[in-house]
Amino acid sequence: MERTMLLVEQYDRGWAVSFKGLPLVTKITKAEAIEVANEHAFDRYSCTGHPIGVFVRMECGDEVLVGQHG
């Protein structure tokens, strides 16, 4: 089964969490955004049973996996 991904990336005023290109929340720090994204991913996996992960897009454009569920 294909894993769905949440993306955390830097934004004008902090760090944004998005799902399939749709913004979910913006936080001040990267750590806060990752925490919220992981909580959202866990909740989504618990409800749907579909694998989901969390990536952080770095300033250089690379995406780093920081969490996965399922």
pLDDT digits (tens, 9 = 90+) for 11-68: 888 999 999 999 999 999 999 999 999 999 999 999 999 999 999 999 899 999 999 9
pLDDT digit string (tens) for 51-61?
A: 999 999 998 99
Instruction: List all residues 6 or more positions away from 66 whose beta carbon is below 8 Å from its beta carbon.
Output: 8, 34, 38, 54, 55, 56
- Whether 9 has a pLDDT exceeding 80, the answer reads yes
Whether pLDDT at 1 is above 90: no
Domain boundaries, the chain: 4-69
* pTM of this structure: 0.90
Q: How many CA atoms lie within 13 A of 66 on its CB side?
A: 24
